[in-house]
Structure 1
Amino acid sequence: MSDTRPRVFHLITRLLKGGAEGVVLDIALGLEDYQFTVGCGASYDDDQLAHLHENGVDTEVFSLIRHYNPVTGVPAVLSVANYLQNHEFDIVHTHSTEAGIIGRFAASLAGVPNVVHTVHGVPFTDDRNTLLNRFVLGCERSAASRTDRILTNADVIADEYLERGIGSPEQYTTVYIGTDLETFQDAEPATDLPGSRPRVVMIGRLAEGKGFDILLDSVASMSHENLSVCLVGDGPLRESLAEQIRNRGLSDTVFLTGFRTDIPNVLAASDILVLPSFREGTPRVITEAMASGLPVVATDIAGIPEQVENGETGYLIPTGDPNALADRLEELLANSELRAQMGARGADRAKQFSTDAMLDDVAAAYDTLLKDPN
């Protein structure tokens, strides 16, 4: 008997182990009323592909989709369009900047009836080249005209896109990134983390734009007594960060743990989450930290203010301001009662960011298109 469920093709630039990838896997593995295929660019993690295959989800790798490589952009569009023409998908759902642009142009060429795009973070930031920002903005405006629904993980992101002339209000729907809250609420603390408590933790890919240098600057200005900082993750900046830590004399305070699969346990063994990013969407790791009862210190950008209530569940700071970060960290490190109060309020606030709520919202967007396309 043939499978009559609607067929949905997801396309993401890199299928690594980050927040956007987690959303794709949650949708592909969590919505049973649809058939999913997941496509990605040249950068991918074998474990992620294997996990999808083990759960009955087909995958396709497009080697011409590369992170900010305009040379391969047009051939990548043609490659994806050719694939879509040879497969009958009811919906194409794109993620991230490059795959979002390439995938939507390809879907238009292939005549796919319904196109959805999820904005995981605002790509126009002060730490990027002005010409690159303008180029991406032009591409986003053009791609929006080829999109039926644009899902943002925060209201403020939709507002910023509209202010920049990307799409129209009726295209936008806010879908908060979901988290399996119980996994974090019930986790046992990891016992093998370096350093002692109180422990500040930063979790994410070791890549540009996350503000690792800001964190190191702030830690260097603080008293190192009764403080440990764990940078959890892997990526292209690992060797550079290791050198910076050594050169600053922080080797007894700041530790690179590498990539870990036990994030709930890491958070349970920590006291503060920090995220001094220059660009984000609505980071899942913040919800995970709040569900774990941790206060959060993060930059006041994108969807983060919709997660972190400044002064209630943590603190919001300006981008690129190590002094503001150091001040807030010192305040929290000196006051365990304040940490506990903020953590408790954060755990309650995290309830609106559950995986089930996210899946319900995505399914509603799909169903609306399938019942009343365009």
Structure 2
Amino acid sequence: MTEKPRVFHLITRLLKGGAEAKTIETVTGLDQYEFVVGFGSSFDSDQVEYLNDNNIYSKQFKTIQHYNPVTSVPAVLSVARYIQKEDFDCVHTHSTEAGIIGRFAAALTGTPVIHTVHGVPFADDRNTVLESFILTCEKLAAKRTDCIVTNADAIKQDYLSRGIGSKDQYTTVYSGIQIEQFDKASPAPDLDTSAISIIMVGRLADGKGFEDLLDALQLIDTERISVYFVGEGPIKNRLTSLIDQYDLHQTVQMLGYRDDIPELMAGADILVLPSYREGTPRVITEAMASGLPVISTNIAGIPEQIQHGTNGYLISPGDVESLAVYIEKLVESQSLRKEFGQAGQERVRKFSVERMLTDIDSVYQTVI
């Protein structure tokens, strides 16, 4: 019997985000391969336990740290030794730090390597020195990559415009979700059904735009609105202070981390995601499957999910005034919310997990 090809996935942080979700869907959904998942110093024990429960071996590399160039060289050597020892058929890297470290490690061992770009790491609100350093590393790592997978065509074009890799290296694989979990979910009981519910789901971190949503609420009448922040993260205390400062504590509730996202979506009316940095956010796909209109930013792969004026609205990052205008439009019109929601449910089929797994398998067949 032919042994299964062995693929080593390496991701910077094994938390509960979109990149991690796509990675876990891949390693648990493609049973014709043997997978190992490596991750850096930051991880969520629930994710490790989930992998173990699904018979996926995982390994931590403590020298892989978020934006810490000091530990990068030791990390490359450590990962290279592990790849060499385990004799993998392919390395599949994710996210910026693990993507750079893992590709250099794979090059040292002569192992074929695939890199998935889950989101564009370049943004106007970042330090220019850091931006330049990341760009240089990405260009060098691309020369050592057999295939670069992007979550959207727009991300591919962005990378090519920056001189990262060549056109023939790229392929687009949209992040997929279990659509049925969302279009058949029952509403969560703890959402206020007497108000128009706006939901924002994501890690409470800089660049997601939580503060922009709070600023937009200052510009509109919030009497009919309930807003829910779903997630945990480092800016939680800052957001709590802003909610108090803006006197929004009766409008905005912070629900923390929740594992019933389909039910929360089913009980909500609008999804808002005014991010500054993204790939092709799974949460938008989930909202589309749930029949929710979406207000988000016109960056990365989001315009490939949201067609402005058809299933949602797109704004420029930081455009709080437009955000407020579009919130008001959707709050005031039930028929518009329904129209946009139905359009999203029709469009979401191209973002199914089944299609994603088929496309990733095709990449593996080509590279391995």
Shorter-chain TM-score bucket reads over 0.9
1:322 aligns with 2:335: no
Distance in 1 (alpha carbons) for counterparts of 2:54 and 2:215: 44
TM-score normalised according to structure 2 size: 0.99
Deviation at 1:194, TM superposition (A): 5.7
Deviation at 1:153, TM superposition (A): 0.6
How far does the alpha carbon of each residue in 1:258-278 deviate from its partner, in whole angstroms, 9 at most, with x for none? 000000000000000000000
Q: How many residues align?
A: 368
User: For 1:243-282, what aligned pairs fall within 5 Å after superposition?
Assistant: 243-282=241-280
Aligned to 1:55: 54
User: For 1:80-91, what aligned pairs fall within 5 Å after superposition?
Assistant: 80-91=79-90
Deviation at 1:195, TM superposition (A): 7.8
Partner SS for 1:44: coil
How far does the alpha carbon of each residue in 1:199-258 deviate from its partner, in whole angstroms, 9 at most, with x for none? 000000001110111111001111111001100000111111111111110100111000
Q: Look up the equivalent residue of 1:53 and give its one-letter code.
A: N
Distance in 1 (alpha carbons) for counterparts of 2:244 and 2:89: 53
How far does the alpha carbon of each residue in 1:53-109 deviate from its partner, in whole angstroms, 9 at most, with x for none? 111100000001111111111111111111111111001000000100011011111
Distance in 1 (alpha carbons) for counterparts of 2:223 and 2:349: 35
Aligned to 2:365: 367
Give the fraction of aligned pairs with identical amino acids, expressed as a percent.
56
User: For 1:157-306, what aligned pairs fall within 5 Å after superposition?
Assistant: 157-193=155-191, 196-306=194-304
342, 345, 351: which is aligned to 1:344?
A: 342
Aligned to 1:32: 31
Deviation at 1:193, TM superposition (A): 3.0
Is the 1:209–1:278 contact (alpha carbons within 8 Å) kept by the matching residues of 2? yes
Deviation at 1:110, TM superposition (A): 1.9
Partner SS for 1:138: helix
Q: Look up the equivalent residue of 1:367 and give its one-letter code.
A: Q
Partner SS for 1:143: helix
How far does the alpha carbon of each residue in 1:276-298 deviate from its partner, in whole angstroms, 9 at most, with x for none? 00000000110100000000000
Aligned to 1:20: 19
Distance in 1 (alpha carbons) for counterparts of 2:236 and 2:319: 22
Aligned to 1:70: 69
Is the 1:105–1:146 contact (alpha carbons within 8 Å) kept by the matching residues of 2? yes
TM-score normalised according to structure 1 size: 0.97
Distance in 2 (alpha carbons) for counterparts of 1:43 and 1:210: 19
Alpha carbons of structure 1 residues 65 and 194: separation in structure 2 relative to 1, 3 Å: farther
Distance in 1 (alpha carbons) for counterparts of 2:209 and 2:77: 36
Alignment RMSD (CA, Å): 1.0
1:129 aligns with 2:124: no
Deviation at 1:196, TM superposition (A): 4.5
Is the 1:234–1:258 contact (alpha carbons within 8 Å) kept by the matching residues of 2? yes
Is the 1:197–1:270 contact (alpha carbons within 8 Å) kept by the matching residues of 2? no
Is the 1:282–1:303 contact (alpha carbons within 8 Å) kept by the matching residues of 2? yes
Q: Look up the equivalent residue of 1:55 and give its one-letter code.
A: N
Distance in 2 (alpha carbons) for counterparts of 1:367 and 1:8: 12
Distance in 1 (alpha carbons) for counterparts of 2:141 and 2:313: 35
Is the 1:283–1:304 contact (alpha carbons within 8 Å) kept by the matching residues of 2? yes
Deviation at 1:197, TM superposition (A): 2.3
Is the 1:125–1:278 contact (alpha carbons within 8 Å) kept by the matching residues of 2? yes
Distance in 1 (alpha carbons) for counterparts of 2:104 and 2:136: 13
Is the 2:193–2:267 contact (alpha carbons within 8 Å) kept by the matching residues of 1? no
Q: Look up the equivalent residue of 2:45 and give its one-letter code.
A: D
Q: Look up the equivalent residue of 2:87 and give its one-letter code.
A: E
Q: Look up the equivalent residue of 2:93 and give its one-letter code.
A: T
104, 118, 123: which is aligned to 1:120?
A: 118
Partner SS for 1:42: coil
Q: Look up the equivalent residue of 1:41 and give its one-letter code.
A: G
Alpha carbons of structure 1 residues 251 and 196: separation in structure 2 relative to 1, 3 Å: farther
How far does the alpha carbon of each residue in 1:131-186 deviate from its partner, in whole angstroms, 9 at most, with x for none? 11110000000000000000001001001101110000110000000010000000
